């Protein structure tokens, strides 16, 4: 997410930190580079101008405190202004006084509404809510089947319309379905209804009319616009149009794990005046982040995001299970089955590169091959072993390695590498005598 902008700003900040003092000349040179980097990231030019003007106003004549170097003082200014640009604070979904809370998702076709609906339902479920998924997309083929498949994957309730349909116009049919879905949610004591509406390839009167009618009937607590993070400034313009008709409450940015420039994230709040609620950062249903402007500002400036990293570890790791594994390590009873369990917990946290970039200063580390396929490779290798081999890896000789490699579709070198990583972990534990494990991060695979 915003990788190119992060890299550019990191270089600028490193150069600035090397300066002995802040002068008008180095402020001007720095801001020129920042302006160019923001425009290259597809940030709205008006937003860029206002951002640069605010930074310059604060930087000129700044009093450097004793606890900060001039470079650090400038970084603080950049961080504060980026946080403001991104919305200043975290926003929360409104809840209904009488359940269910209704969350209506709107947006163009292909922006990721259906997948986001399932991701949000999963996150709410983890927070002890009881969500209901409903699709009123009667236009896109298999739209409702797609949501049904996702709902089954995460064991979430879904309201299905009658098989035979209803003999009304499509708009009337949609209104009828959703009214019945609200009644169903109340009968089943489900506290949140997530509504996946139909999208279009472009904005049209029929689409907006249907959404306005849905809003009038449902009176949803939250109308969230789902924007494709890859579309840049186009996403900003579309949000403005939707907001004029629907008065949306907030924005979701999807596909933020892509190689898109990501300027929409930095422009959309300022241009629309609406906050970002969530970021979708991967294909898996677990890859959804609550949007924290200050944390994202830190990431953009290469300062890391330890708080989010800790939250991800806590969400993926069962504390009681981790304590048991720690004791197994200390007693030298840690098996490859335990190792496999740790690998699977790491996978829940999302792409490795995203995780490691939350560590302050990691962006400066060069020549490290971060390959998520290494986790999958480790998983299939262990699954290709017998129960006896997993319990006692010492019995795995040359012929067994060849058999495991054939069974996992890898080669003996891959099996050797996995076993070496396992034995290194056992060796380190033995040498340290007593080691406090830092969650799953002790077992991160960084490839070769």
The predicted-structure confidence for 116-153, as pLDDT tens digits, reads as follows 999 999 999 999 999 999 998 877 778 888 999 999 99
CB-based contact 243:254 (threshold 8 Å): no
Express each pLDDT in 231-261 by its tens digit: 767 777 788 889 989 999 999 998 887 655 5
Give the integer Cα–Cα distance in Å for 30 and 75. 11
pLDDT at 443 over 50: no
* CATH code for the structural domain at 3-85: 1.20.120.140
| Alpha helices by DSSP H, 18-94 | 24-40, 45-59, 70-85
pLDDT confidence of residue 439: 45
CB-based contact 2:265 (threshold 8 Å): yes
Express each pLDDT in 409-440 by its tens digit: 999 999 998 998 888 877 776 665 544 444 44
Output 73 or 35, whichever has higher pLDDT.
Answer: 35
CA diameter of the chain? 76
* DSSP conformational letter for 166: -
In this prediction, residue 363 has a pLDDT band, given cuts at 50, 70 and 90, of: low
CATH topology of domain 310-443: 434 Repressor (Amino-terminal Domain) (1.10.260)
CA distances for 287 relative to 13, 14, 96, 278, 350, angstroms: 30, 31, 26, 10, 6
Q: 101-301 belongs to which homologous superfamily?
A: P-loop containing nucleotide triphosphate hydrolases (3.40.50.300)
pLDDT at 357 over 70: no
Q: What pTM, to 2 d.p., does this model score?
A: 0.69
Give the integer Cα–Cα distance in Å for 290 and 118. 15
Give the integer Cα–Cα distance in Å for 228 and 248. 16
Express each pLDDT in 313-354 by its tens digit: 555 556 566 666 666 666 667 788 888 887 877 776 666 666
pLDDT at 300 over 90: no
pLDDT confidence of residue 318: 60
- Domain limits, the chain: 3-85, 101-301, 310-443
Give the integer Cα–Cα distance in Å for 267 and 273. 10
In this prediction, residue 69 has a pLDDT band, given cuts at 50, 70 and 90, of: low
């Amino acid at each position: 997410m915003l990788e190119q902008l992060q890299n550019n700003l990191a270089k600028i900040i490193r150069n600035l930190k090397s300066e002995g003092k802040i002068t008008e000349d180095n402020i001007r040179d720095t801001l020129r580079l920042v302006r160019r980097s923001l425009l290259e990231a597809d940030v709205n030019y008006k937003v860029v101008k206002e951002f640069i003007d605010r930074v310059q106003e604060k930087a000129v004549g700044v009093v450097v405190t004793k606890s900060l170097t001039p470079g650090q003082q400038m970084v603080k200014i950049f961080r504060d202004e980026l946080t403001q640009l991104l919305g200043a604070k975290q926003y929360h979904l409104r809840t209904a006084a009488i359940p269910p809370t209704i969350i209506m998702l709107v947006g163009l076709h292909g922006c990721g509404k259906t997948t986001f609906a399932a991701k949000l339902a999963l996150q709410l479920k983890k927070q002890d809510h009881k969500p209901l998924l409903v699709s009123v997309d009667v236009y896109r083929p298999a739209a409702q089947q797609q949501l049904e498949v996702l709902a089954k994957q995460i064991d979430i309730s879904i309201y299905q319309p009658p098989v035979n349909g209803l003999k009304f116009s499509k708009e009337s049919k949609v209104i009828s379905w959703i009214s019945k879905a609200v009644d169903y949610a109340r009968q089943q004591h489900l506290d949140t209804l997530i509504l996946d509406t139909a999208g279009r390839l472009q904005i049209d009167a029929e689409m907006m009319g249907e959404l306005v009618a849905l809003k009038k009937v449902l009176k949803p607590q939250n109308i969230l616009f789902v924007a494709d993070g890859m579309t840049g400034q186009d996403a900003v313009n579309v949000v403005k149009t939707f907001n004029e008709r629907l008065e949306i409450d907030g924005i979701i940015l999807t596909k933020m794990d892509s190689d898109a420039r990501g300027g929409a994230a930095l422009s959309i709040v300022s241009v629309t005046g609406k906050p970002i609620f969530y970021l979708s950062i991967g294909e898996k249903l677990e890859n959804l982040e609550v949007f924290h402007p200050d944390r994202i500002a830190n990431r953009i400036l290469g300062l890391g995001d330890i708080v989010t990293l800790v939250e991800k570890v806590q969400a993926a790791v069962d504390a009681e299970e981790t304590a048991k594994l720690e004791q197994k390590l200390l007693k030298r009873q840690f098996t490859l089955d335990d190792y496999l369990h740790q690998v699977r917990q790491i996978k829940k946290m999302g792409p490795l590169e995203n995780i490691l970039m939350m560590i302050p200063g990691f962006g400066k580390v060069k020549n490290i091959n971060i390959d998520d396929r290494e986790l999958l490779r480790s998983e299939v290798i262990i699954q290709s072993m017998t129960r006896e081999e997993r319990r006692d890896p010492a019995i795995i000789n040359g012929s067994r390695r060849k058999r495991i490699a054939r069974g996992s579709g890898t080669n003996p070198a891959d099996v050797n590498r996995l076993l070496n990583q396992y034995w290194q972990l056992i060796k380190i534990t033995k040498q340290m005598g007593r080691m406090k494990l830092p969650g799953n991060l002790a077992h991160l695979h960084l490839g070769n």
